C-alpha cells in the first residue's frame, strides 16, 4: 500500500471532506473542542512546539491554536490542495508556520527537531500495522520528555475485525450522511473500504508502550471516532 493512494480522493479536491465535516458526521465539533481543552491543559504560560501529521487544510485545528498558540507549528500533508487552504486558516497564528508537502510517516521518522505535541487527525488509520508501529517509534524518539501525542482517529472495538468494523461504518455512512450527494458518498465509501485500517485501542497502546510512551488515555469517544493521548508520564501531565 503506497501512502499516496489513501489521499487520492482528497488530493484532487478538499470539498468532499469539508462537506462531510460541515454536517458534523465525524463529530469534528465535539472532538476539536476537546483538543482545545487538551492544549489549554499544557498551561497558559508554557511554550510548546507542534507537529501536525496529515494536517489537511487545518480548518478545525486552527481555531484551537489561535486560542492557545504554539511557539512553532509545522504541518505535513500529501494534498497540495489542502495545504494551500491551510495557509489561509493558519495565517493569523502569532508564530512560525511551516507547511510541507510530504508523507506523514517519512516526516516524523526524519525530523531532527524535538516536539512538545505531535497531533494527527484521522490519518494514522491509513497506515499498515507495521507502519503504525514505526510511527509510534518515531513519535517516542522526537517527543520532548513531557511531550504528548494527540491522535484523533477511528478505532475498532476490542476483538472486532476490520471487515466487521467496515460493515458497521459503511452502514452508518449510507444511512446518516444524507447531505452528501449519492455519487460522492459512494466515492467516500470506496475510500473507506479500500484504505481504512483502524486498530483497536489495546493494539495502539501496546505499540505506544513499546516506543516508550507508557501512558495511554482515551480522552473522548464519539461512536467509532476517538481522541487518544499518549505520553511518557503516567499522569500525562504537560
E strands in the chain = 49-53, 72-77, 96-101, 115-121, 143-154, 215-222, 225-231
CATH of domain 5-231: 3.40.50.150
Give the pLDDT of the chain (238 residues) as one tens digit per residue. Answer: 344 455 555 555 567 888 899 999 999 999 999 999 999 988 666 789 999 999 999 999 999 999 999 999 999 999 898 999 999 999 999 999 999 999 999 999 999 999 999 999 999 999 999 999 999 999 999 999 999 999 999 999 999 999 999 999 999 999 999 999 999 999 899 999 999 999 999 999 999 999 999 999 999 999 999 999 999 986 544 4
User: For the whole model, what pTM was predicted?
Assistant: 0.93
Domain boundaries, the chain: 5-231
Category of 88 on φ-ψ map: left (φ > 0), alpha (ψ -120 to 50) or beta: alpha
Per residue, the 3-state secondary structure of 16-78, as one string, reads: HHHHHHHCCCCCHHHHHHHHHHHHHHCCCCCCCEEEEECCCCCCCHHHHHHHCCCCEEEEEEC
Amino acid at each position: 500500500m503506497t501512502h499516496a493512494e489513501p489521499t487520492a480522493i482528497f488530493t484532487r479536491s478538499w470539498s468532499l471532506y469539508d462537506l462531510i465535516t460541515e454536517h458534523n458526521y465525524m463529530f469534528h465539533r465535539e472532538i476539536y473542542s476537546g483538543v482545545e481543552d487538551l492544549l489549554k491543559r499544557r498551561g497558559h504560560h508554557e511554550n510548546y512546539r507542534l507537529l501536525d501529521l496529515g494536517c489537511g487544510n487545518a480548518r478545525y485545528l486552527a481555531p484551537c491554536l489561535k486560542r492557545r498558540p504554539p511557539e512553532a507549528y509545522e504541518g505535513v500533508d500529501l494534498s497540495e490542495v489542502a495545504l494551500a487552504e491551510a495557509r489561509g486558516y493558519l495565517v493569523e497564528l502569532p508564530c512560525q508556520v511551516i507547511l510541507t508537502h510530504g508523507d506523514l510517516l517519512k516526516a516524523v521518522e526524519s525530523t531532527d527537531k524535538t516536539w512538545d505535541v505531535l497531533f494527527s487527525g484521522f490519518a494514522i488509520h491509513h497506515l499498515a500495522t507495521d507502519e503504525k508501529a514505526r510511527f509510534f517509534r518515531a513519535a517516542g524518539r522526537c517527543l520532548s520528555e513531557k511531550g504528548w501525542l494527540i491522535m484523533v482517529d477511528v478505532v475498532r472495538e476490542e476483538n472486532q475485525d476490520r471487515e466487521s468494523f467496515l460493515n458497521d461504518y459503511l452502514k452508518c455512512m449510507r444511512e446518516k450522511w444524507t447531505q452528501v450527494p449519492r455519487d460522492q458518498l459512494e466515492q467516500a465509501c470506496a475510500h473507506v473500504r479500500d484504505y481504512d485500517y483502524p486498530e483497536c485501542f489495546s493494539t495502539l497502546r501496546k505499540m505506544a508502550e513499546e516506543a516508550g510512551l507508557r501512558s495511554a488515555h482515551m480522552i473522548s469517544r464519539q461512536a467509532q471516532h476517538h481522541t487518544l493521548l499518549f505520553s511518557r508520564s503516567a499522569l500525562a501531565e504537560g
